[in-house]
Structure 1
């Protein structure tokens, strides 16, 4: 719906833009009451039609100039049909119509704003299709659409069209706040926010006040707009800079960097060459029409961040035509712009549009041709060095996903075949009197094997003999592995090819060596598991499992089962009783309330079995909720301080949650404590948990022989399994003190 409204508004604004050419003529009233031309704008109709400074304006639309609202209110002439000018006693009446724009006006006031809007709409539709229910994506869509409408309405604002002017002022002032709103929502969704929503709301409020001031004309409208915009941009850059520091060593820092670049590059020309000069010296260095072209950077950077998975991580792919078409836009536009500016300014807009389309098509064709020749001449190009670097990165990423040595070998073979001009390729076990793995010249093979025998082999070592080559991959379980290949031509590898081949073979060797070690370790663990000294572990797991089952059975028996039996009897009694409808409803309401209570009890039991939404609400909030539920069940006062400044792995989060859950359950069932103090925080690259109660305590000497303390023993095993430390001190009658430290 919002998209449709934006399209309709953009269409209406564009129609107004076409109907009202920019006159571009400022006037002043002299002492005699005459209206004199005071300034002529470079892109305006007046300059194109030869109106000069100091010409006298006799009539506007057949009436005295001061009767026209733009002359009276803004000291400029816009939105007129005819202008009568007197110059040196010569009077002429000029007609303004929708064909009076000129090439520059068509370009800067209609084509560029409309093109920018279509760009933002396309990106918005793309986001809407893939991120329909994401609030941060929704705010970004609003921002993009508003930016497009702002660009179009700016043209009408320059022409003093009331609707366009008010719309531009409102959007121009609030647009930075909408951008900051998006930043807030996105990083809050990622649980990495560094500023509060109050800042966003404050910026909205400040900009609204500025908008009201601009309407009241208490101050110069232009100065209010520009000053407010500068304050907004400064605030955004400061907050993004803070975020860049806050997210240091975090992958989201790249996203913040991209957002910084998008705002900086898109706003810098307008700020440096228009806004600041107007506010300081009262005149711009470059006209706004030129400086706002940098707005195209904004959606372009967003598109780049999305395509590189630094924003939203959307599942999509771009086909080659769309990619080439997008890359061709900017060069075609700038070539056309330079031609119109320096070669032939008199060209009409239609001719410039045709020139743009011609250059655009040539660019797309050139990119297609480049891709074709790159693939065809891959092995002959010296620029292939860049492809080798890309291949090394690609093979590194691919090797991480392989599960066994066979997959690694297939991966290496595929990469070598794709990058090098290879006829045959094989991985073979190196043995004496080794036969060639494929058909080749026997003399070449014999010479190659002799070279291998004479030279000491190291991982990645390349040996060549005419068309044949061999690379030592490594020795796995005392079995040397070689990569043997046959080139299509007897040309030695270039230095960059040798380096590339040695590098990827080394990567593959390290990967396979690690796989062998992991396989051996798993075998050793299985062997240890079968030994007798692992009986204690089996008993522990069995006891732990039985304890949890027994606890669940007791909970179900003492709560839900008993309540169900009572409800069954009540329902049976209702069946045989003859009672009035009101009494029947009363009994049914009572039964309904008990069913609701049973649902709550069931949910509580399920929550203890597996805490839901732990990954959604976060460990800190989950622990707070656990403590609050515990206080409802137990008459124990708890003081807690839970503060986690770092994001933990899911395994660690669940383990810490279970530890605290077990400690609280132990306190309620065994400790007879009336007070518990619980602290959870991150210090010195560790998660530190400190539990203290004033209960009956534990006899530490008898702890190892006490089955009732299996829960505490289980906590200790959890901690040690995570590489942490567990320290427990207690005496009978003096409570319990447990300190746990788990590395991040």
Structure 2
């Protein structure tokens, strides 16, 4: 029963997003349906001699088509006499209406107007269509982030921030219509998104190891603003005359929180000079610039804006997505690559769009506002065209770039072919064969010049060279990968060391011309070949040292001694760093506290101060004991392996948020070193589970085998890609593999994104033949789950 409760809590904790998504979908769907069902008009009124006159309609173009103008007298709204609507008295605006009856002030004509939601295109576009698109985009991005970056506090806050900004934007229409739910959601989400941003910045400061510059108790920032705004919103629904007052209050609170965010980023950047904070600051300021320069300043100076406030406000919605670029660099995608490629598209598109607009202005007589629309449409269309053209060109590259096949595929096959050779002579011969085959040129060879004997050898048996011919080739100043064309052949530098210089020669006989794609393929291949030669030389040198190892006075190689010494020094440095940052700092703090007690003038409360110092000393001693146990588990020598593992698992139980299922068989091992090895394996596996797995269930089993033992591990956590384990320089996985390999054991691991991780280790103590170890990467059967 208790385990079921733990599983339920862990399930809710790890599936918090689905609760947020459900709330988001319910509220968003309701708000969009409210916005679509009733047209928003926004017609301002004023009372004069008991009549309500129109001051200014919000949608002027639609109003002109319906013969609505300033000075017209409103008589009825949705069949109700306007004087009977109390809301108009303290909020003189016709916000929503499906039916209007008004008196034209010019000709005295009585007009009865029916209004449908789609009658006002601007209202449909800016209040319904664009918010609906942003609503779906935010949902897709949130699900994508959740899938790619599970259980990351920064990503979780960023996801909630995106959803909250989206709700604030979607609720504008319903809030403007004075819908109760829309009003509460709009005001609350406006404040909540900034509170989430402050929380995000706090965690980001900690992530960058910077001191946080604001309130540490983040709960206060959530409780105070949100409780006040929510209470005021509900109060304004009950008492509508307070609606305007509380709207102004919400805007002021929004402005104050925004200033706090600017202050945190500005002060943080000026104090720490961290580029990440500069990027954050620019990502918040930049979306405000279009509103400032395209609407506010032109409206103030020229009384005519370039872009309307509705369009300029759309740039503010880029703020959440700018944080994705700043936060997820190199995690989900290569941001630098996309920015560089976008800059490339931007330059071409901007230049051509300006040229197009100059031509249109010269040929036609278009208004400035119309030219602006054409500019944005053409500019964005060209960027999209370049992007899709690049995608299509990549898929059609066989037709566009080569009549002989796909050069990328040929590169892979060539590298795979020459990479299988283990001797330099065979490597050069295989390289010549591949180049001759793919370029369809028979006269391809490698010249090797010996600096000591000044002899020239070639991979071609039919070609002989004089010294003068070779001087011309060898004196060419070629950099690595460069290819130059001479009168009779192409030459390229391959490799050079203290003994030899190697050059590729391709005879073209004035009749063969290599295309740019072929030269690029050859250039990349030369770079790989140079690395292959260097690696092959290193392997040959190591094999030569091992071959003559027994002849040396010392049984160990110099490079091996150096490697071991460096590993020992690295371990000592890490231990010293840990002790310096923890135990030493605690001891210094205790010493300062004791110094304060010794030199205190007032002798009151001495007992309480000494008690506090005593508690600090006990905590420091417990930390020191923990370090000693990690370095050399005391129970391992006194009570044996089973007792030491039981204590280790008890420690993990106290810290773990997952359900731990384990089995420990009693082993009878002749080699006592295996006990320490098993303990270290358990220690590393459980530490990885605590730090990285984010699992609900973790299983670890120590099982007795016929001539040894097995360790089976399984978790249902987030897992990772097998390629990342193979390529990563992870001391954890690599350390376990080295320990198992040292005892001629077998180590198998399987993992994938979202599939958890399973590891099986098998050691045969009776095996006397020393092997190179076993290290495969394939699926091992999941161990049977036994409850502890």
TM-score by length of structure 1 reads 0.53
**CA distances 1:630-661 after superposition (whole Å, capped 9, x unpaired):** xxxxxxxxxxxxxxxxxxx9989xx9xxxxxx
Which of 299, 305, 314 in structure 2 is aligned with 1:293?
314
**CA distances 1:369-407 after superposition (whole Å, capped 9, x unpaired):** 554677755599xxxxxxxxx9xxx9xxx9xx9999989
Task: State the partner residue of 1:715.
Answer: none
Mapping for residues 223-622 of structure 1, pairs under 5 Å: 223-241=248-266, 253=275, 256=277, 259-270=280-291, 287-298=308-319, 300-301=321-322, 304=325, 310=329, 312-313=331-332, 366=389, 368-371=391-394, 428-430=446-448, 450=469, 453=472, 455-460=474-479, 462-465=483-486, 468-476=489-497, 478-485=499-506, 509=530, 516=537, 520=541, 531-532=552-553, 555-556=635-636, 558-559=638-639
CA distance 1:70–1:81, change in 2 (3 Å): farther
Mapping for residues 23-38 of structure 1, pairs under 5 Å: 23-30=41-48, 32-38=49-55
CA distance 1:435–1:519, change in 2 (3 Å): closer
CA distance 1:315–1:364, change in 2 (3 Å): closer
1:448 touches 1:463 (CA, 8 Å); kept in 2?
no
**1:113 matches 2:131:** yes
**CA distances 1:314-353 after superposition (whole Å, capped 9, x unpaired):** 899x9xxxx9xx99xx99xx99xx99xx79999xxxxxxx
In 2, Cα distance between the equivalents of 1:312 and 1:536?
41
2:439 touches 2:518 (CA, 8 Å); kept in 1?
no
**CA distances 1:588-607 after superposition (whole Å, capped 9, x unpaired):** xxxxxxxxxxxxxx99x958
Task: State the partner residue of 2:610.
Answer: none
In 2, Cα distance between the equivalents of 1:170 and 1:451?
81
In 1, Cα distance between the equivalents of 2:298 and 2:381?
38
Q: CA RMSD in A?
A: 6.4
Task: State the partner residue of 1:64.
Answer: 81
Q: Secondary structure at the match of 2:216?
A: helix
- Which sections of structure 1, spanning at least 5 residues, go unmatched? 347-354, 381-389, 565-601, 619-648, 656-744
In 2, Cα distance between the equivalents of 1:192 and 1:527?
54
Task: State the partner residue of 2:30.
Answer: 12
CA distance 1:156–1:562, change in 2 (3 Å): closer
**1:137 matches 2:155:** yes
- Which sections of structure 2, spanning at least 5 residues, go unmatched? 1-17, 237-241, 361-365, 371-377, 450-454, 569-627, 645-674, 692-728, 736-788
2:288 touches 2:316 (CA, 8 Å); kept in 1?
yes
2:187 touches 2:229 (CA, 8 Å); kept in 1?
no
Q: Secondary structure at the match of 1:483?
A: strand
Q: Secondary structure at the match of 1:24?
A: strand
Which of 89, 97, 104 in structure 1 is aligned with 2:115?
97
Q: Secondary structure at the match of 1:198?
A: coil
Q: Secondary structure at the match of 1:481?
A: strand
Q: 1:103 Cα shift? A: 2.3
CA distance 1:448–1:78, change in 2 (3 Å): farther
**1:125 matches 2:143:** yes
Equivalences, count: 525
In 2, Cα distance between the equivalents of 1:27 and 1:377?
65
In 1, Cα distance between the equivalents of 2:442 and 2:324?
42
Task: State the partner residue of 1:726.
Answer: none
Q: Secondary structure at the match of 2:490?
A: strand
1:10 touches 1:149 (CA, 8 Å); kept in 2?
yes
In 2, Cα distance between the equivalents of 1:182 and 1:3?
19
Q: 1:42 Cα shift? A: 3.5
Q: 1:298 Cα shift? A: 3.6
In 1, Cα distance between the equivalents of 2:395 and 2:459?
35
In 2, Cα distance between the equivalents of 1:40 and 1:446?
92
**CA distances 1:460-501 after superposition (whole Å, capped 9, x unpaired):** 264423573111223236232223446799688899999998
Task: State the partner residue of 1:81.
Answer: 98
1:273 touches 1:285 (CA, 8 Å); kept in 2?
yes
Q: Secondary structure at the match of 2:492?
A: strand
In 2, Cα distance between the equivalents of 1:290 and 1:299?
18
2:44 touches 2:54 (CA, 8 Å); kept in 1?
yes
In 2, Cα distance between the equivalents of 1:379 and 1:448?
38
1:121 touches 1:145 (CA, 8 Å); kept in 2?
yes
Q: 1:78 Cα shift? A: 1.8
Q: 1:226 Cα shift? A: 3.4
**1:149 matches 2:201:** no
In 1, Cα distance between the equivalents of 2:513 and 2:466?
15
Task: State the partner residue of 1:567.
Answer: none
**CA distances 1:687-723 after superposition (whole Å, capped 9, x unpaired):** xxxxxxxxxxxxxxxxxxxxxxxxxxxxxxxxxxxxx
Q: Secondary structure at the match of 1:50?
A: coil
